[in-house]
Amino acid sequence: MTDTAHDLGASRTLWELVERRAALTPDRPVLLQGDRTLTFGQLRDRAERVAAGLYERGVRPGSVVAWQLPTRIETALLSFALARLGAVQSPVIPFYRDREVGFALRESGAEFFATPGTWRGFDHTAMAHRLGARGVFEAYEDLPEADPAVLPPPPADGTTVRWIYWTSGTTSDPKGVLHTDRSLVAGGSCLAHALHLTESDVGSMAFPYAHIAGPDYTVMLLLYGFPAVMFEQFALPEALDEYRRHGVTVAGGSTAFYSMFLTEQRKAPAEKLIPTLRLLAGGGAPKPPEIYHSVIREMNVQLTHGYGMTEVPMITMGAPDDTADNLATTEGRPPAGMSIRIVDTDGKEVPAGVDGEVRLRGEAVCQGYLDPAQTAEAFDADGYLITGDLGHVLPTGHLVLTGRAKDIIIRKGENISAKEIEDLLHAHPAVQDAAVIGLPDPERGERVCAVLELRPGTPEPTLPDLTAYLRAEGLSTFKLPEQLEILPTLPRNETLRKTLKYKLREQFTS
């Protein structure tokens, strides 16, 4: 990290970070979208005017303001205006509907709710009124503005909870995750430090700004003073023109995004997909080693992958100067200030190289959940967050994730890692994506089921084909899949496109 970025990373609040970056490079762009450009100076000045407009509407320091908005310049302006006021923000993913949105509004006690109006054919404002939301206003294009002279002083304390993020609910209600300005700045600093970016880079936001990755990425822009292209609706190949037009050097999002770029690259192997691109980076979902090698070999760009979650936006990150083996097989190293502890089933710490449950402590870790009972269950006696992820730390400090505690398949009393099988399946020439799940079985307890999404134009493998391939790759016999299912596409969420295994279990359990 440069001296300037390191100094900015010590900012107490997000608004202080905005002011300090705007003072350094007011005319440099920070956000690009279509023909529009927002500079760091304009971000500061317009966000302050929007804060004044919100203040005149009754928003005060500590007011709870929910917003469900797409990835747009206006969304960033509204969010930083709320940070200037010291309001409590509750971002809601724009793809959520009545059940999730109603839950978020009730649990957060939102006093105001910003919507995009009708977006992608759905009337969010009508939903808000249907749910009995308070203080509803639209903030897609027109934001309230007023003279900043009406504003109180900006917040000075970065350790107060001012953010409520929502875990993506699967079979139960989502959890409200509590963050502070400092925890978000710490997460963004980790990302910025690992990627070795410079002022000459151009990034990209292909994910919902309402996701925890939104502030994570924006903090990186503020620390290093470079811009990012925002995509309100992301799809390939449609988005490629914007990547090329703005000269994007850093792209990504998650493993699914890497696969999407690879699919496009394979349509014209001899031509570089995005001429200026030098780095794919992301996190949020496991990365099979074969995906890394395919990106390097076919796209001729570097790939660095990290480990994060709503509770801790950035835990570890691969660095471009890591070894190829570490970049392919690990999640990178934690930054200074992030402590990783690997424990056994009794909660005792295990040595380097030994598998166990991953626990975390550091400034980027959330303050807990809206529900105090959930907070009590989430932290151990030493204040470490219990992640539910399994893995080990190498002597070099790199973290290797081997699965989720809930993603271990127990077949005839033997533990089987779904991730181990998935990594091997991703190297099969016909496989575009793979998910391995455990299904109830009266004789075995659970049976191993492989669900595949195939590459276009490839022959469909049979179960004997697949097990023969896995045997040849050295997989133990007791881990071999006993059921094979093939789908046109795996079910994924709308944020980082993670595979929704609970839906696969529901579909194939019968």
Residue 171 has pLDDT above 50, yes or no: no
Q: What is the pLDDT of residues 76-124, one digit of tens each?
A: 999 999 999 999 999 999 988 888 899 999 999 999 999 999 999 999 9
Q: What value does the mean pLDDT of the chain take? A: 92
Domain presence at residue 494: yes
User: Is residue 426 a part of any domain in this protein?
Assistant: yes
Note whether 418 and 463 are same-domain residues: yes
Question: Sign of the C-alpha dihedral, residues 208, 155, 366, 352?
Answer: positive
Q: Does residue 321 share a domain with residue 392?
A: yes
Pick the closest to residue 236 from 265, 214, 200, 213 (CA basis).
Answer: 265
DSSP letter, residue 60? -
365-380 confidence digits (pLDDT tens): 999 999 999 999 999 9
163, 182, 201 - which closes a domain: 182
249 in the same domain as 133? no
Confidence of residue 410 (pLDDT cuts 50, 70, 90): confident
pLDDT value of residue 486: 95
Q: Which of 352, 371, 404 is the last residue of a domain?
A: 404
For 289, the 3-state DSSP assignment is helix
- Domain hosting 448: range is 412-508
pTM: 0.85
Report yes or no on 255 lying in a domain.
yes
Let me know if residue 274 belongs to a domain: yes
Residue 168's pLDDT is what?
64
Residues 76 and 118 in one domain: yes
Residues 456, 258: Cα–Cα separation, whole Å:
16
Residue 413 is predicted with a pLDDT of 67
Cα–Cα dist 169/423, whole Å: 26
Asked if 491 and 500 count as a contact pair (C-beta separation under 8 A), the reply is: yes
- Which range, of 224-228, 406-410, 430-434, 466-470, averages the lowest pLDDT? 406-410
Domain CATH code at residue 463: 3.30.300.30
212: three-class secondary structure by DSSP: coil
Q: Per the domain annotation, does 205 fall within a domain?
A: no
Residue 142 lies in a domain: yes
Amino acid of residue 358 = V
In a domain, 202, yes or no: no
How far is Cα of residue 310 from the mean position of the Cα atoms in its chain? 7
If you write DSSP's letter for every residue of 225-255 in order, what string do you get? T--EEE-SS--TTTTHHHHHHHT--EEEESH
106 lies in some domain: yes
**Shared domain check, 245 and 162:** no
Residue 429, Cβ neighbours under 10 Å: how many?
A: 9
Final residue belonging to a domain, choices 404, 438, 465: 404
Encode pLDDT of 19-51 as tens digits: 999 999 999 999 999 999 999 999 999 999 999
Which of 50-59, 285-294, 382-391 has maximum average pLDDT?
50-59
Residue 170 has pLDDT above 80, yes or no: no
The verdict on 430 and 400 lying in the same domain is: no
CATH of the domain at 96: 3.40.50.980
Query: In this predicted structure, what is the pLDDT of residue 199?
Result: 93
Do residues 292 and 350 both lie within one domain? yes
CATH number, domain of 280, equals 3.40.50.12780
Please count the other Cβ atoms lying within 10 Å of the Cβ belonging to residue 402. 19
Note whether 149 and 17 are same-domain residues. yes
Same domain, 88 and 167: yes
Q: How far apart are CA 248 and CA 272, in angstroms?
A: 13
HEC string for 72-136: CHHHHHHHHHHHHHCCEEEECCCCCCHHHHHHHHHHHCCCEEEECCEECCEEHHHHHHHCCCCCE
Q: Are residues 334 and 442 in the same domain?
A: no
pLDDT in tens, 469-500: 998 988 878 889 999 999 999 988 776 677 88
Verify that 66 and 93 share a domain, yes or no. yes
| DSSP character at residue 445 | E
Tell me the per-residue pLDDT of 436-476, one tens digit each, with 9 for 90 and over.
Answer: 988 888 777 788 999 999 999 999 999 999 999 998 988 87
Q: Are residues 246 and 378 in the same domain?
A: yes
- State what percent of residues in the chain have pLDDT above 70: 97
- HEC letters along 147-205: CHHHCCCCCCCCCCEEEEEECCCCCCCCCEEEEEHHHHHHHHHHHHHHHCCCCCCCEEE
Q: State how many domains the chain has.
A: 3
Beta strands in 378-492 (DSSP E): 385-393, 399-404, 408-411, 414-417, 431-441, 445-454, 483-487
Q: Tell me the three state secondary structure of residue 342.
A: strand
